[in-house]
């Protein structure tokens, strides 16, 4: 992809996702996630119904009438986008492949965070951490994140969710909002997720395609595993094969939901033909 093509793609995604974040997610994002705590704002005269525990006794003694301290939520947050760029994200039988949807999800969330003046960071992973961009503010930083999501070519093609979460725990010192976007075709990330969930506000978005849930009958078909590169002929008319295929997907989905539930983290299922706008909006409103 040359520079001109890349800039066109960045601009196209910016227009689409920023419109969504401005019109739909700005307020919802703001209300869905809490700040780091309460900070002192001002002192005012006591009014009936105020909490007496907030009385400022020094000011009260000085003016000989009760004054209270007013606190407001410290709104500045850090949003960390953790995006799977392994080989399996290149699959999709609808209008978009999984990687394209993950890119748009990241961009929409990033622009929503920018409206709230939050820092945004990016972690791209396969079975290793491919790229880490520390959290920063500003439009140019967001556009850099989108460029990397579009342009970055991973060195490896397999998936290691646990490794990405472990790296994240080492580099993020303060509490952050963490969105992990992947098809979660991986295992053994439950314990690492629990450790991450104790410190950060974590949400997993599992992006999948309907052809990964049910294998259609098409006779003998040549399949290529995007993560291993292995090519083999498969008889899709075999009932046992089709049942095993469906069972694998269900077990993978069940593991995802159980792992995130045990970590007290949010979980979203998103099929490639579904609207991620509706899914995100519903999730924000439910928090």
Q: What are the pLDDT digits (tens) for 85-123?
A: 999 999 998 889 999 999 999 999 999 888 888 999 999
The tens digit of pLDDT for each residue in 153-180 reads: 999 999 999 999 999 999 998 899 999 9
Higher pLDDT, 39 or 198: 198
* Structure-token match 């760029």, residue found: 85
Q: Where in the chain is the domain with CATH 3.40.50.410?
A: 3-32+75-286
Is the pLDDT reported for residue 133 higher than 80?
yes
In the three-class reduction of DSSP (H, G, I as helix; E, B as strand; rest coil), residue 48 is classed as: coil
Geometric angle at alpha carbon 208, from 183 and 98, rounded to 5°: 75
**Rounded to an integer, what is the distance from CA 207 to the centroid of its chain?**
11
Average pLDDT, integer, range 258-275: 96
Kindly indicate the confidence band of residue 150, based on its pLDDT and cuts at 50, 70 and 90: very high
- Give the model's pLDDT for residue 38: 54
Phi, psi of 144 (to 5 degrees): -65, -40
Average pLDDT, integer, range 56-85: 84
Classify burial at 242, counting beta carbons within 10 Å of its beta carbon; exposed 0-12, middle 13-18, buried 19 or more: middle
- Give the model's pLDDT for residue 87: 94
- Give the model's pLDDT for residue 178: 97
Question: Quick one: fold of 3-32+75-286?
Answer: Rossmann fold (3.40.50)
Q: Bridge partners of 178?
A: 80, 202
Q: Bridge partners of 121?
A: 80
Among the residue ranges 142-156, 188-202, 222-236, the one predicted with the least confidence is 222-236
Residues near 284 by beta carbon (within 8 Å), at least 6 away in sequence: 25, 28, 29, 31, 32
Average pLDDT, integer, range 210-238: 86
Is the pLDDT reported for residue 250 higher than 60?
yes
Angle, helix 3-20 to helix 139-151, in steps of 10 degrees: 120
- Give the model's pLDDT for residue 136: 94
* Structure-token match 């709230």, residue found: 116
Distance, in Å, from the CA atom of 71 to the CA atom of 42, rounded to the nearest integer, reads 7
Distance, in Å, from the CA atom of 256 to the CA atom of 208, rounded to the nearest integer, reads 12
Candidates 153, 171, 151, 152; CA nearest to 163 is 171
Element (DSSP H or E) covering residue 280 = helix 276-286
């Amino acid at each position: 992809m040359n520079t001109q093509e890349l800039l066109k793609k960045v601009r196209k995604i910016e227009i689409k996702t920023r419109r969504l974040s401005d019109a739909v997610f700005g307020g919802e994002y703001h209300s869905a996630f809490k700040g780091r705590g309460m900070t002192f704002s001002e002192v005012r005269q006591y009014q009936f119904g105020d909490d007496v525990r907030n009385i400022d006794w020094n000011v009260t003694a000085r003016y000989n009438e009760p004054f209270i301290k007013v606190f407001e939520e410290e709104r500045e947050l850090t949003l960390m986008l953790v995006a799977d760029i392994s080989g399996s994200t290149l699959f999709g039988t609808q209008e978009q492949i999984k990687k394209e949807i993950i890119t748009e999800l990241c961009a929409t969330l990033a622009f929503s965070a920018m409206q709230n003046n939050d820092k945004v960071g990016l972690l791209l992973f396969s079975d290793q951490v491919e790229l880490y961009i520390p959290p920063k503010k500003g439009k140019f930083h967001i556009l850099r994140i989108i460029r990397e999501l579009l342009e970055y070519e991973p060195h490896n093609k397999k998936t290691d969710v646990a490794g990405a979460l472990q790296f994240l725990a080492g580099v993020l010192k303060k509490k952050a909002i963490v969105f992990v976007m992947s098809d979660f075709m991986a295992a053994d990330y439950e314990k690492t997720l629990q450790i991450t969930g104790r410190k950060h506000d974590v949400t997993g978005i599992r992006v999948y395609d309907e052809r990964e849930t049910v294998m259609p009958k098409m006779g003998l078909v040549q399949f290529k595993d995007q993560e291993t590169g292995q090519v083999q002929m498969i008889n899709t008319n075999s009932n046992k094969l089709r049942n095993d295929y469906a069972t694998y997907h269900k077990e993978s989905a069940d593991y995802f939901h159980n792992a995130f539930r045990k970590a007290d983290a949010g979980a979203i299922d998103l099929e490639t033909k579904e609207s991620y706008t509706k899914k995100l909006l519903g999730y924000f409103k439910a928090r």
